[in-house]
Amino acid sequence: MFTVYDIEVFPNDWMIVFLDTETGDIERIHNDKEALMSKIQRLSSQILVGYNNYFYDDIILAGLIKGDGPYELTQKIFRKEWISHRLNMVTLDVMQEVRQGLSLKEAQANMGMDIVETPVDFEKEELTPEEVERVFQYCENDVRTTANLFQKREAYFTSKFEIVDTFKLQVSAVKKTRASLSAAVLKAKKPMKKNGWNANPDDRLHLTFDKRLKLMELPAEIVEFYKNIEMAFNHGEKPEVLEKEKLDVEISGVPHTFGFGGLHGARENFKHEGDMLQIDVSSFYPALMINNGFISRRAKSPELFRQLYQDRLRLKGVKDPKQEVYKIVLNATFGASKNAFNDLYDPRQFNQTTMNGQLIMTHLLLLLQPFCELIQSNTDGIIVSYDREMRGMIDEVVKRFGVHYELTLDVDEVAKIAQRDVNNYVVQFADGSIKTKGCFRQHEDGDWERNSFAIADKALTDFYMYGTPVQKTVIDSFKTGRLDLFQIVTKTGKFDGMVWERNGQMEPIQKVNRLFASTDRSSGSVYKVRNTSGTDKLHKVAGAPEKALVWNEAIDALNKRFIDLNWYVKTIQGMIF
């Protein structure tokens, strides 16, 4: 049913590799239009899968079918020119809705694969047979990686097919993002103005408060902060600037930041073991949207959103896995209201939802303040420590709060926490399960989106949750062959290149690289290069060891005796607070 493909284009050559996901069979095509058309006919019942194919491969393939030159099309794509070609097939892009900027090469590095770039110049006009074979091998490596990632993202693509099936959308809609699918489900359509899309609605900072809020019980400076923003908007100040305004306020002894994002606050460099509770609001933003009419005004069927919410609660209550489909649509609808390219775009509703969400969570913090100590707060939940004799009062406050605001709250017991700040913490629940974020994230099976210096994540979590010395985690991971935990993945980004110091010389290296701390005295560090007025300036890669080993072949081929374990132990110990 699925065929993965990848295209490479040169001035006078084009190559395509197809991989059948069921049989594993590979098929190569090189400058052969007849063979390509035959293959396309045989793929009529298949779904093509690629990586970034929506913005490149699909366009090139459509051009090849039409008879246009792929090299000229490639140059137009690079110049960001408008191209009308559209492939008349259902395709899936594995890059869709992944971390921004994640290249296939970086994903390969994260998974410990060979990331050696092809040495063949893509501007070369005549390729030798050896170079053609080398490019095909490079291309085959890419399609196998894409097939691997496609399997890892099965749940994501399954959810899109289920949305299409559940809400009777056209099959081709599966190419849309989940936010765009949500717009289709709610029959949203963005109105047009004479000069184009209504990209900046006149009322985007006209704010209303949840009628359940007791503003007199909230800190006056927070309420005034939002009122002043609306006043400034009415006096002509730019909404894009006003929406970036921040207010720092201490709530329950913890610094908090207010604005038009989620609420965030945490005790920094904090550790605690004992009686704690995590109190979360279930489907917080969807509930606020329903309670206050904050659903996008572009939705022609806002009542359907309310029905989806009720259906999801019903399915969740009977543990029906289909509830996840409804959850995706509900959550995506909120985010879509701030996306100017989505038919649900309605920034006023987005701003009202986030503002009221912060004020409502603030009210919960103030109500609980006499009975517990705040440890952290986030967009839809908080963690508090408490004395056991206060548990009954806490439960009563939470119950009444939920009834008053027409919200459902979940309370879970926490046994242990270590948090550096609001974005980096690890929590152990009473049942022994672990929740991590930031520098504590776990990589038990690797992580294809992020897997750089992951040994620090594991060592810090083991240290704070289980009391395991850093050196033990490092040595045990090394002995069991988890070398992927030790890699540091770095990429050129917006710089002009990257170099590796070896034997006192700066050696150019590729755009994406895998580093290890090395015991080799001839090795130096790794630097990014920025060319300014013809002069190269070197910038040491953040976190790179002073003695680095650049290893871009598969990790399982690395001789691990060159890895400097002492560097990892000392570096991680320096991260302990």
Confidence (pLDDT) at 195: 46
How large is the C-alpha radius of gyration of the chain? 27
Q: Which long-range contacts does 335-340 make (Cβ < 8 Å, 24+ apart)?
A: 335/179, 336/179, 336/180, 336/182, 336/183, 336/296, 337/296, 339/179, 340/197, 340/199
Give the strand pairing for 254-258 and 247-251.
antiparallel
Confidence (pLDDT) at 193: 58
User: What are the tokens at 18?
Assistant: 């197809």
Q: How many other β-carbons are positioned within 10 Å of the β-carbon of residue 527?
A: 21
Confidence (pLDDT) at 89: 92
Q: Which residue type does 170 have?
A: Q
Confidence (pLDDT) at 446: 53
CA pair distance 212, 393, nearest whole angstrom: 22
Kindly report the CATH class assigned to 2-152: alpha beta
The burial class, CB within 10 Å (0-12 / 13-18 / 19+), for 10 is buried
Q: What are the beta bridge partners of residue 276?
A: 385, 414
User: What are the tokens at 138?
Assistant: 């490079």
User: What are the tokens at 49?
Assistant: 């899968």
Instruction: Give the helix ranges, DSSP H, for 235-390.
Output: 239-242, 284-292, 302-317, 323-336, 347-368
CA pair distance 405, 210, nearest whole angstrom: 9
Asked, colleague to colleague, whether 2-152 and 178-435 share their fold, the answer is no
Residues 6 or more apart in contact with residue 106 via CB below 8 angstroms:
489, 491, 512
Residue the block writes with tokens 């006919």: 41
The answer to whether the CB of 417 falls within 8 A of the CB of 409 is no
3-state secondary structure at position 266: strand
CA pair distance 95, 51, nearest whole angstrom: 5
CA pair distance 34, 65, nearest whole angstrom: 10
Confidence (pLDDT) at 323: 86
Sketch the domain layout of the chain as residue ranges: 2-152, 178-435, 445-577
Q: How many other β-carbons are positioned within 10 Å of the β-carbon of residue 427?
A: 23
| Distance between first and last Cα of the chain | 52
Instruction: Give how far the C-alpha of residue 173 lies from the chain's centroid of Cα atoms, to the nearest Å.
Output: 22
Nearest-5° Cα angle at 425, 423 to 428: 145
Q: How many other β-carbons are positioned within 10 Å of the β-carbon of residue 399?
A: 12
- How many residues comprise the chain? 577
DSSP assignment, residue 563? B
CA pair distance 207, 502, nearest whole angstrom: 59
Q: Which residue type does 28 have?
A: R
- CATH for 178-435 (3.40.50.720, 2.60.40.2700, 3.65.10.10, 3.90.1600.10): 3.90.1600.10
Q: What's phi and psi for 80, nearest 5 deg?
A: 60, 40
The answer to whether the CB of 357 falls within 8 A of the CB of 288 is yes
- Give 94-110 as a DSSP string: TTTTSSTT--HHHHHHH
CA pair distance 287, 295, nearest whole angstrom: 10
pLDDT per 10-residue tile (average), the chain, 577 residues:
96 98 96 96 94 97 95 95 90 94 94 91 95 96 96 92 92 94 90 53 92 96 97 96 96 95 93 97 94 94 88 86 86 93 95 97 97 96 97 98 96 97 95 92 70 95 97 97 96 95 95 96 96 91 96 95 97 96
The answer to whether the CB of 420 falls within 8 A of the CB of 577 is yes
Q: Which residue type does 167 have?
A: F
The answer to whether the CB of 85 falls within 8 A of the CB of 59 is yes
CA pair distance 162, 321, nearest whole angstrom: 11
Confidence (pLDDT) at 386: 98
Q: What's phi and psi for 299, nearest 5 deg?
A: -75, 120
Nearest to 275 by CA among 174, 140, 417, 163: 417
To 10 degrees, what angle do helices 178-185 and 154-166 make? Answer: 10
The answer to whether the CB of 16 falls within 8 A of the CB of 29 is yes
Maximum distance among all Cα pairs of the chain, rounded to whole angstroms: 81
pTM above 0.95, yes or no: no
- Give 513-544 as a DSSP string: EEEEEB--TTEEEEEEEEEETTEEEEEEPTT-
